[in-house]
């Protein structure tokens, strides 16, 4: 793990402004930021672990707990709520057999809510890994999951 941190720091630098980029790089490779990783990053940046954890926990794309192989994020803004997010989430939960915030028993999928995806005029919206889906209906969300993973 230390080598991943050192490579990320080499790529982005040790300035405080580089912290999020370094954390994103680690997540890209390890899927989440463990407590040990947060401590090591804090040491590397000469920051307290609380400062690094505070940064990581602020951003929903920097998970501090293990996630599945694939992460499905549903926008939780009021706009998406008004556009039918609740029904959308119910359909996804039924499809995956997991509640919001959970990971499937096979570890393939984690279902999370996330802050604004910047698609307020196209809600409800979700991300499957890094791909955005907008103007979703419950059936459309299930179809997007099926198509993305070749389950159709």
In whole numbers, what is the pLDDT of the chain averaged over residues?
92
Quote the pLDDT of residue 60.
81
pLDDT over 90 at 150, yes or no = no
pLDDT tens profile 57-116: 988 889 999 999 999 999 998 988 899 999 999 999 999 999 999 999 999 999 999 988
Average of per-residue pLDDT across 20-40: 94
Contacts 24+ apart (CB under 8 A), 50-55: 52/19, 52/23, 55/19, 55/20, 55/23
Q: Mean per-residue pLDDT for 7-23?
A: 95
Interval 121-149 mean pLDDT:
93
Position 1 pLDDT exceeds 80: no
């Amino acid at each position: 793990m230390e080598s991943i941190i050192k490579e990320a720091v080499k790529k982005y630098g040790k300035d405080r402004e580089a912290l999020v980029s370094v954390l994103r790089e680690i997540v890209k490779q390890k899927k989440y930021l463990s407590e040990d990783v947060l401590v090591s990053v804090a040491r590397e940046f000469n920051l307290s672990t609380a400062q690094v954890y505070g940064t990581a926990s602020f951003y929903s794309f920097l998970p501090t707990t293990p996630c599945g192989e694939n992460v499905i994020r549903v926008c939780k803004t009021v706009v998406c709520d008004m556009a039918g997010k609740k029904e959308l989430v119910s359909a996804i939960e039924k499809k995956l057999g997991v509640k919001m915030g959970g990971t499937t028993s096979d570890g393939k999928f984690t279902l999370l809510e996330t802050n604004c995806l910047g698609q307020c005029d196209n809600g409800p919206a979700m991300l499957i890994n890094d791909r955005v889906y907008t103007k979703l209906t419950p059936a459309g969300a299930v179809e997007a999951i099926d198509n993305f993973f070749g389950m159709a």
